[in-house]
Chains A and B, each alone.
Chain A
Amino acid sequence: MRRLRRRLALAAVAALLLGATQAQDIMLDPEVFEIGNELRCPTCVAESVAESNASIAREMRQIIQEQLDEGRTRGEILAFFQDRYGDWILLSPPRRGMLLLVWLLPVAAVLVAGGGLFLLVRRWRAAADAVMPVAAEDLERVRAALAGAEGRSLAGAEARAPDTDEATPRAPAPRP
């Protein structure tokens, strides 16, 4: 009784400050909005019963409050609306029948994508580590080419090697 009086007093003050609609909502238990968050507003686009200001959503909040006051459980209240509107009214589809796919498909997609990525990375790493088979004559040609290149580079290095005098920077010629 004291709780009801407090709610009425709060609503009266809110009615003066905010207007009748918001005052009606202040009278409601927080649990009304928790349950309303699980229900779709029938006349709105992408809004829950808790969020919508449509007249039907306000009335549904009122019904939820009345049923809570009567001692009904959250499950019983959701079932009340489900009985009238079907599974459509629930924002979280029930985990049964075809609707189970809504829950399972995202998990399956993540698993398949993860598995695919794992296999792909493993293949890439295996390809990077693998020793490529090379024909013996190809190997010989590469060795010969490398040896030739080595010889040329040594000879070149000798030809370019500076003696000490050459390395000393020359003094600029005196100006006439």
Chain B
Amino acid sequence: MKRVAVVVAIVGGLTALFLFGLLRGAPDRNVPSNLLNRPVPTFDLPVYERYQAEFGPRLDLADHAGRPMVINFWASWCGPCYAEAPFLEAAQRRYGDRVLFIGIQTQERDARAAGRAFIDRFDFTFPNVIDDDSRISIAYGLFGVPETFFVRADGTLDHKHVGPVDAAVLAERVEALLR
């Protein structure tokens, strides 16, 4: 009798654990960042041709100090980056006069043609720069792509979002920057 109770307890425990894994829902995208509330690392990176008339051949983050920013890391091989791209462009058109959106192509070396195709496909109107050696993604403590950093006007990190953003996340986080 005692042995049956032990077997039932073990099987019941494992079943409960299995069901918890199945039913716990989508993964938490609010991954804590070591940069939270600290100034984000600065960078000076080459700019894609279509933005050079407005931003010059390189974009130095220090030149834009004092503006809230949304910094999005992407790669042309990254599926979720394609899923979130239309939301980023829509947010740029809505908030672009108050918030600087920057796209950073990272974790792929010498992939200019693929990068241009990605940008043209979504007709990004915000500047996109190239982090060829992934140094900036390391400086930002990136785990993968896409990741989006919401930076306050004083240059400190307000929030980091891991995985693709959508309209609701962008609206909530950008509004928080503007408050």
Contacts and interface: CB of A to CB of B under 8 A. Distances in A.
Interface of A: 42-43, 55-56, 59-60, 62-63, 81-86
Interface stretch (B4-12, B43-51, B53-61, B131-139): B131-139
Interface string B113-137: 0000000000000000000011101
Nearest to B33: A86
30 contacts: A42-B138, A42-B141, A42-B144, A43-B107, A43-B144, A55-B107, A55-B108, A55-B109, A55-B134, A56-B107, A56-B134, A56-B137, A56-B142, A59-B133, A60-B138, A62-B133, A63-B138, A81-B138, A82-B34, A83-B34, A84-B35, A84-B138, A84-B139, A84-B140, A84-B141, A85-B34, A85-B141, A86-B32, A86-B33, A86-B34
B143 interface: yes
B143 A42 contact: yes
Interface residues of B, number: 18
Contacts of A56: 107, 134, 137-138, 142
A59 B34 contact: no
Interface string B139-153: 111111000000000
Given A42-B141, A82-B34, A83-B34, 15 more contacts: A42-B143, A43-B107, A55-B109, A55-B134, A56-B107, A56-B134, A56-B142, A59-B133, A59-B135, A63-B135, A63-B138, A84-B35, A84-B139, A86-B33, A86-B141
A83 B143 CA distance: 14
A59 B139 CA distance: 12
Nearest to B31: A88
Contacts of A83: 34
A86 B32 CA distance: 9
A43 B73 CA distance: 14
B73 to A, nearest CB: 11
Nearest to B139: A84
A40 to B, nearest CB: 10
A42 B133 CA distance: 15
In the A-B complex, the 5 residue pairs with the closest CB atoms: A84-B141, A86-B34, A85-B141, A59-B134, A42-B143
B79 to A, nearest CB: 15
